[in-house]
Chain A
Amino acid sequence: MDSLIDLLRNSGTSEQQALMLVLLLVTLPLLALFTMQQRAGKPVALRPIQAFHRVREFIGRGAETGRPIHVSLGTGGIADASTAESLAGVTFMGHIAGQSIASGAPLIVTVSDPTLLPLAQETALHAWESRQYGCDAAEPEVRLVAPEPVAYAAGVMDTLLGEHVAANVMVGKFGHEYLLMGETGIRTRTPQIAGGIDPQTLAFIQATADEVLIGEEIFASGAYLNPKPTHIASLRVQDWLRVLVTVVILVGVILRSV
């Protein structure tokens, strides 16, 4: 390993760059291969994720009661490291928007980061403009609450308390302020689905949400809700990379110990 590192340094490549290069060289071919396999129709069994299954129930609840469905995209934006989580939340929100508009359930989307606002608006409006002729669903409402996480949580609490939402979906980047929103949902007896990748926030999510999306499950919404070959191929690549990383860790531990 040390010789490898020396070799890299001599070539002017840092460890970070080398690792990134290896990751790309492994990921891209796998992604292409699995995408071709999925387009050819290879069957893949995805384990059930209850959160995606219950979304339909939540939308039905909103359609029945006429109360809005609230979707929170978290405190992240698309100009920083939380872009992936924000995009995952937007993907999930897009699916919910399409289903709720088709069923007539009102939709409220709240964001904290201003950079996420145009993307969320565009996604929600696209779903609304794609509605079928004769559909009288209300136009979804996308709101910027506040850039500060705590202020954002206070605004969402007000939405949950004041607008009597039928269901609450929170997928994105959240910090400790999540507990303020989650507990409010518990107190108002609002069914909740929540997901994030921060382990500490996941503890709060587990204690308050009805269905939880743990870590990478928030990135699987595309494959579960709108299965395209590329999404399913992406999940398979993730599985392969996870195994690869596990093997590398084990090998490294063994080599270090010997």
Chain B
Amino acid sequence: MIYCPNCGTANKDGSGFCNQCGHKLGSGSKTVCPSCGAPNPIENVFCDSCGAKLAPLVTKGAEEKPGVKGLSLPTKPLDEEVPEETPEGASEDVPDWLHRLRYVTGADQEPLATEKPAPELDAPMPPQDLGGEGEAEIPDWLRQLRAAAPPTEEAQVEPPAQEQPEGEPSKEEPAEAEVPEWMRQIGAEVQQAVAAAEAAEVKSDSEPVTEETPSISPLAETPAEPEEKAIAEEAPLQEPLPQEVLPVAVAAVALPEEPPPGETPAPAEAREAILPPAVPEEVGPPEEQEEAPPVPPASEEALAAWLQEEGPVILEAGEEAAEGETIVFAPEEYPAVALPQAEIPAWLESLAPGGGMRPDALGPAFAGKLTPEEAGLERAQIPAWLELLRPGRAKEGEIPVEETAEESGILEGVRGALRLVEAIDPSPETQARAVSESAAVTPERAELLTRLLGESTSSLVKPKPIPTQAVRERGLPWLTALLLVAAVVLPFFLPGLVPGGNTVPASTPAEALASSVQSLQPGDTVLVSFDYDPGVSTELDWPARIVLDDLKQKGVNILLMGTTPTGPGLAARFDWTGAQMVNLGYLPGQEMGLQQLTAGITGAALAGFGGAVPDAPFGVRSLSDVKLILTVASSQETIRWWVEQVGTQVQTPIAAIVSAAIEPAVRPYYASDQLAGLVSGWVGGQAYQRGSGSSSTENKDVIALEAQSLAHLVIAGLIVLGNIAYWGKRLIGRQS
């Protein structure tokens, strides 16, 4: 059904215009299913085709937002697309740098994918990794070890750009993050060392670096010298790292080019292997590169010298590291490389299991180590694009985000995390503030809700209908009723109002019944069956009485019965004074009962009416002894029962008095000579009277016919009026 958007009237599917008001029913009156696209009536909540809800409660974007409690930092800005390549075992929710962190700490035991290089164990891991681009690749700081150093004036870490447009990530941030200032300083120092080494002799022994080196931190504003560190032995690798993921320097150290067995490779050769291949400068802000002084190319001997001093020592198999040296790693396949023991910066120590920041910051895996503040780390400035993602950013008067440690989730123990959870699970202060704000409104709403719940549904006020719709809905039935009542009542006051109102149309079937009745002789028996409901008694009583009066006048014997429980009672209402009449009562079983009746009247289950059924009323034992069977019926099926069950078994003619409504269905029985006569309704009754030669002169009969005529005329007029109204509204709708 299509419901009109104007008046709400239900219209059949496919209707182009409303039946009631003529409003156009187009696609606007349908709701398109968001799932399958099928059109649905407006009032539908669920799609008729696929069952999907037509009005989703939440937007698609909202459903996709992460709901992980404790997630503070997204791996990337929400505007950026998720890279397709993620480390194997790393979920989409876990950023790469975090995944590597977990791997290092042993939390993530799954091996890294070979497609993406493993995290560089020697590479300093910034606590805030702002991007996932190229992190697994050789960092630029390592490349720069082979290249000229950038100028020292650029050692200052530039603060992140604050004026980025909303939602757009700073494209310079990843570059800066990948090349922290301290790393640039390494390059600068390398260059200086290269220059110094040129003039110096190559030392054969390397001395452990004893001097203290400042803590290295990409977050530090003052650059610090990079130091090569040793990874604690407490974090053994589950399986050896493939060579291709090794840092270049380490790889070169680990696998010298075919050293002869038993021979220690020449320091120069070893150091040559250590030397990273010269690579052109690729990374670094153009400004820095432009301003950087030209870096002299590294020479093997110069580089080797400082590396000799501070570089790692390759240990032979079974050789133990000297005091103060720490074995970097000692996989079975690779010779051990001993690095001078250097002071490991705090942030780097945090990568080691059992070291690092406070437990409440990094979790139980990092207990007993320096806090970031103690290690000289300073909180990095959150870039603007990340700042925008802070949920419930502190506006004026709002409670700022707390810097508490995460209590659960993958960032358990991390402090200073952005509390997205604040939006989902607000803090008590936020809640208290919200409560205080709504305090003024809540009592009113609570009172309203209480009142609504207390009211019974019957007292609910129905929405006021649209005035035109109300007039139409109430006015039309009243108009119809008034017209019909007028049609019935007017002839009483204005007889002759209807032209030709007392002209009875000819009816051959009715006249045939009249002939059949006229042919009866006194003493003949007629079986009359009252098979109609009391509801149609007003229509069928009158023609039935006319025929029965004729039968009484003829002096025939009348047997009454009924195939409905109310039939005998209806028959008893007639005036049987002076008539030879026996009421056989109700015959149950409908057509089965009629079938039994054909076997004999006494064999049928006739109950009698007011007394027992006599054995052979009027000498009749079977239907063959009856001269005429007359059924007064209001349903076509009753006629069918009589014709099929009785008419095929006995030769007695069957006639019918039926309601005018079923005349079209019963007429074929007369046309096929299965019925001897047929009277339908009041008009048929009057036609019977004309056929029997006793036209009624009673005024009420004429009035009844006129009233019926007027009523038919009113209905025809309503049909025409309905079409005029429908088409009129349609034309008006088109014009407007």
List residues of chain A with CB under 8 Å of any chain B CB: 14, 16, 53-54, 56-57, 60, 64, 79-82, 147-150, 175-177, 186, 189, 191, 198-200, 210
Contacts and interface: CB of A to CB of B under 8 A. Distances in A.
Interface stretch (B77-85, B266-274, B633-641): B633-641
B662 A210 contact: no
A16 B648 contact: yes
Given A81-B590, A149-B535, A191 B641 contact: no
Contacts of B51: 60
A176 B591 contact: no
17 contacts: A14-B648, A64-B45, A79-B589, A79-B592, A80-B589, A81-B590, A81-B591, A82-B637, A148-B533, A149-B535, A186-B10, A191-B1, A200-B636, A200-B661, A200-B662, A210-B1, A210-B12
Given A14-B648, A60-B46, A210-B12, A148 B534 contact: yes
A176 B532 CA distance: 13
Nearest to A153: B535
A53 B665 CA distance: 32
B88 interface: no
Nearest to B659: A176
B168 interface: no
A132 to B, nearest CB: 19
B665 A200 contact: yes
Contact of A199 (B590, B641, B665): B665
A177 B1 contact: no
Interface of B: 1, 10, 12, 44-46, 48, 51, 533-535, 565-566, 589-592, 634-637, 641, 648, 661-662, 664-665
Contacts of A149: 533, 535
A149 B46 CA distance: 37
Contacts of B46: 57, 60, 64
Given A60-B51, A79-B589, A148-B566, 15 more contacts: A53-B48, A54-B48, A79-B592, A80-B590, A81-B590, A81-B591, A82-B637, A148-B533, A148-B535, A175-B634, A191-B10, A198-B636, A200-B636, A200-B661, A210-B1
A229 to B, nearest CB: 27
Contacts of B12: 210
Given A148-B534, A175-B635, A57 B592 contact: no
Contact of A177 (B535, B636, B641): B535
Given A150-B535, A210-B10, A176 B661 contact: yes
Nearest to A189: B10
Nearest to A198: B636
A56 B49 CA distance: 10
A176 B665 CA distance: 13
Given A81-B641, A200-B662, A147 B648 contact: no
Nearest to B41: A57
Contacts of B44: 57
B463 to A, nearest CB: 13
Given A189-B10, A199-B665, A200-B661, A80 B592 contact: yes
Contacts of A57: 44, 46, 48
A57 B41 CA distance: 11
B158 to A, nearest CB: 61
Contacts of B1: 191, 210
A60 to B, nearest CB: 5
A60 B634 CA distance: 39
A80 B591 contact: yes
B144 to A, nearest CB: 68
A252 to B, nearest CB: 14
Q: What 5 pairs between A and B have smallest CB-CB spacing?
A: A150-B535, A80-B590, A210-B1, A57-B48, A60-B46
A148 B635 CA distance: 13
A114 B452 CA distance: 44
A148 B569 CA distance: 14
Contacts of B10: 186, 189, 191, 210
Nearest to B635: A175
A200 B667 CA distance: 14
A75 to B, nearest CB: 10
Nearest to B45: A64
A43 B591 CA distance: 41
A153 to B, nearest CB: 9
A176 B282 CA distance: 93
Nearest to B43: A61
Contacts of A60: 46, 51
A64 B51 CA distance: 12
A95 to B, nearest CB: 17
Tell which of B45, B51, B635, B636 has the most Cβ of chain A within 10 Å: B635
A53 B664 CA distance: 34
B533 A150 contact: yes
Nearest to B51: A60
B130 to A, nearest CB: 49
A189 B4 CA distance: 13
Contacts of B535: 148-150, 177
A200 B636 CA distance: 10
Nearest to A149: B533
Contacts of B635: 175
A175 B641 CA distance: 16
Nearest to B590: A80
A88 to B, nearest CB: 16
B641 to A, nearest CB: 7
A118 B252 CA distance: 93
A82 B590 CA distance: 11
Contacts of B634: 175
Contacts of A210: 1, 10, 12
Contacts of A198: 636
A196 to B, nearest CB: 12
Nearest to A57: B48
Contacts of A189: 10
Nearest to B535: A150
A210 B662 CA distance: 25
A189 B9 CA distance: 8
Nearest to A77: B590
A23 B51 CA distance: 44
Contacts of B48: 53-54, 56-57
A16 B644 CA distance: 10
A14 B648 CA distance: 10
A99 to B, nearest CB: 13
Nearest to B44: A57
A46 to B, nearest CB: 18
A127 to B, nearest CB: 21
Nearest to B661: A176
Contacts of A191: 1, 10
A57 B590 CA distance: 39
A44 B86 CA distance: 50
Contacts of A175: 634-635
A186 B664 CA distance: 27
A206 to B, nearest CB: 10
Contacts of B589: 79-80
A17 B534 CA distance: 37
A185 to B, nearest CB: 10
Given A60-B46, A80-B592, A198-B636, A147 B661 contact: no
A149 B533 CA distance: 8
| Most chain A beta-carbon neighbours within 10 Å: one of B533, B661, B662, B665 | B533
Contacts of B648: 14, 16
Contacts of B592: 79-80
A56 B50 CA distance: 11
A200 B637 CA distance: 12
A149 B635 CA distance: 11
A186 B10 CA distance: 9
Nearest to B648: A16
A57 B48 CA distance: 6
Contacts of A199: 665
Contacts of B636: 198, 200
A254 to B, nearest CB: 20
B677 to A, nearest CB: 22
A64 B47 CA distance: 13
A16 B649 CA distance: 11
